[in-house]
Amino acid sequence: MADPKKLFIKTYGCQMNVYDSERMAEAMGADGYVLTEAAEDADMVLINTCHIREKASEKLFSDLGRLKPLKQAKPGLKIGVAGCVAQAEGDEILRRMPLVDLVVGPQAYHRLPEMARSTGQQVDTDFPVEMKFDRLPERKTHRGPTAFLTVQEGCDKFCAFCVVPYTRGAEVSRPVDRILTEARGLVERGVRDITLLGQNVNAYHGAGQNGDYGLARLLREMAGIDGLERLRYTTSHPNDMDDDLIAAHGDLPQLMPYLHLPVQSGSDRILKAMNRKHSAADYLHLVERIRAARPDILLSSDFIVGFPGETDEDHAATLDLIRAVGFGAAFSFKYSARPGTPAAEKPELPEDITNARLYELQALVTSQQRAAQEAMVGREVGVLYEKPGRTAGQMVGKSDHLHAVHVDDPTGKVGELVRVRISAAVTNSLAGERLN
């Protein structure tokens, strides 16, 4: 038998790209490819790209530059570009970078094996009627106790700064039975913790046997899967946190006490200019209701600093909101003008102002993150072991609240869900002792 062909995949961007890369690897696996960790050994290199900020999309072109000598040494090497830059730039990529053989948009991944078999340059950035997931081969290869599962794709929100509605297209939800089948298959292969994914996951509305399901109803079905101990979902929009979903945080023990709920800004003026369609007070009220349902929930968020027109007062309002909520984690980004979005037409702020605001905001969220970690000391939490730690006899896993936890446990095994008493908070992680 001939040696299998080798595929190297580099993934940028959000968790949905991580999930897509797994599915593409499986689709190519059905066509005889195995994954390799080294681009130098590969017969095909696939770059799964992100277009969200300028810096993210520039990575594609620096990666392609580095691949030039490889392609010269091995002319048969196939180079593919997938993801949101592929969608946004399409055949422009082939013009700028003739070494690329194929460009495949996020909704066309089921066509990847066929494109890789063809000769000549290939582009597919269609948004087909049928969802790619219905045409990709079934999942077979998942390893490890945690998994992502995409249930919804695309976005209809059109925030003024964001490329996602253009690169991923309109909102589509996968049918309930497909999701449950995939989840059961993952659990059979040892998965105990599933994160449901969608660009707007809480806008999920999939067809089920008994009508239309929202995300809460889907989570309730998933909680019935034997052996599936933990559920999470990301990313949510504040306006789609309905009563049923909030209630699920109170009554579903499998639903973990961590919620990523991006707010972007604490200024009503900026929220309006961003087209977020809610006020800072709406967000604070929502947080109150979520905490009433699940008092120990840890909240995280995304912030954009330096949106066009942002004043010192607007920035101060964002800091006020952060102080009022107390986040357990937060991601903050300098505004990046993206081609084709409405905000890109507005004048940008001077960079030194944006840098100073980002610095101030990050200092505040870092102090909140530390406080949240320190508040865990002495508490008992669940930890799902994901891998051995760096020191011998140590295991590392995630707590219910998604903190990384190191545990001295020489007999511990990957995939075990154990009770741990947190003993110390160290930079970016916790340490604890196993109780059972």
* Partner interacting with residue 167 (select from ligand SAH, ligand SF4, ligand F3S, none; CB below 5-8 Å by kind): ligand F3S
CB of 52 to ligand SAH, least distance (A): 5
Spatial CB neighbours of 82, under 8 Å, sequence gap ≥ 6 = 20, 24, 46, 47, 48, 49, 103, 104, 105, 106, 109, 112
CB of 75 to ligand SF4, least distance (A): 39
Angle between helices 312-325 and 351-374 (to 10 degrees): 10
Helical segments of 38-110, H only: 54-73, 83-89, 92-96
Return the one option of ligand SAH, ligand F3S, ligand SF4, none that residue 158 interacts with (CB less than 5 to 8 A, by type).
Answer: ligand SF4
Q: Is 14 helix (H, G, I), strand (E, B) or coil?
A: coil
The set of residues, in sequence order, having a beta carbon less than 8 Å from that of 292 and lying 6+ positions away, is none
Q: How many residues interact with ligand SAH (rule CB under 6 A)? A: 17
Tokens of 94: 């082939």
Per rule CB under 6 A, is residue 52 in the interface with ligand F3S? yes
CB of 84 to ligand SF4, least distance (A): 11
Strand ranges inside 154-226, DSSP E: 172-173, 193-197, 205-208, 211-214
Say which residue the tokens 């969200």 belong to.
52
Q: Is 401 in the site for ligand F3S (CB under 6 A)?
A: no
Considering only 268, 282, 302, 348, the residue that binds ligand SAH (CB under 6 A) is: 302
Kind of pairing, strands 394-399 and 380-388? antiparallel
* Smallest gap from residue 161 Cβ to ligand SAH (A): 4
Which residue lies nearer to ligand SAH by CB, 283 or 335?
335
Q: Shortest approach of ligand F3S to residue 24 CB, angstroms?
A: 13
Quickly count helices (H) and strands (E) in the chain: 14, 21
With CB atoms as reference, the residue minimizing the distance to ligand F3S is: 13
Among 39, 42, 147, 163, binds ligand F3S (CB under 6 A): 163
Which strands, in side-by-side order, build the sheet including 78-82? 33-35, 5-11, 44-49, 78-82, 102-104, 122-124
Residue 50 binding result from ligand SF4, ligand SAH, ligand F3S, none, given CB thresholds of 5 to 8 Å by partner type: ligand F3S
| Binds 336: which of ligand F3S, ligand SF4, ligand SAH, none (CB < 5-8 Å by kind) | ligand SAH
- Does 333 bind ligand SAH (CB under 6 A)? Our answer is yes
Residue 83 touching ligand SAH (CB under 6 A): no
b/e 223-242 (16+ beta carbons within 10 angstroms → b): bebeebbbbbbbbbbbbbbe
Backbone angles phi, psi at 82, to 5 degrees: -120, 180
Residues 43-62 that bind ligand SAH (CB under 6 A): 52-53
Cβ proximity to ligand SF4: between 16 and 321 the closer is 16
Site for ligand F3S in 195-254 (CB under 6 A): 199
Nearer to ligand SAH by Cβ, of 122 and 369: the residue is: 369
The single residue among 7, 9, 14, 376 that binds ligand F3S, judged by CB under 6 A, is: 14
83 binds ligand F3S (CB under 6 A): yes
Query: Taking the complex as a whole, how short is the minimal distance between the CB of residue 199 and ligand SF4, in angstroms?
Result: 4
Other residues' Cβ atoms within 10 Å of the Cβ of residue 164: 22
303 close to 333: Cβ distance less than 8 angstroms: yes
Q: What is the DSSP string of 103-159?
A: EE-TT-GGGHHHHHHS-S-EEE----SS-HHHHSPPP----SSEEEEE-EE--S---
Quick check: 80 binds ligand F3S (CB under 6 A)? no
- Which listed range, 163-171, 339-347, 368-376, 393-401, lies at the site for ligand F3S (CB under 6 A)? 163-171
Rounded Cα–Cα distance for residues 167 and 352 (Å): 30
Sign of CA dihedral 29, 414, 12, 130: positive
Kindly indicate which of the ranges 12-20, 60-68, 128-136, 354-362 contains the residues binding ligand F3S, using the contact rule CB under 6 A. 12-20
Distances (CA, A) of 70 to 32, 42, 117: 22, 10, 20
- If phi > 0 it is left, if psi is from -120 to 50 it is alpha, else beta; for residue 133 that is alpha
Binding partner selected for residue 51 from ligand SAH, ligand SF4, ligand F3S, none, CB under the kind-specific 5 to 8 Å limit: ligand F3S
Binding of ligand SF4 by 16 (CB under 6 A): no
| Interaction mask 122-161, ligand SAH, x per CB under 6 A | ---------------------------------------x
Q: Which is nearer to ligand SF4, 123 or 155 (CB)?
A: 155
Q: Could you list the residues that contact ligand F3S (CB under 6 A)?
A: 13-14, 16-17, 50-52, 83-84, 163-164, 167-168, 199
Q: Could you list the residues that contact ligand SF4 (CB under 6 A)?
A: 155, 157-159, 162, 164-165, 199-200, 237
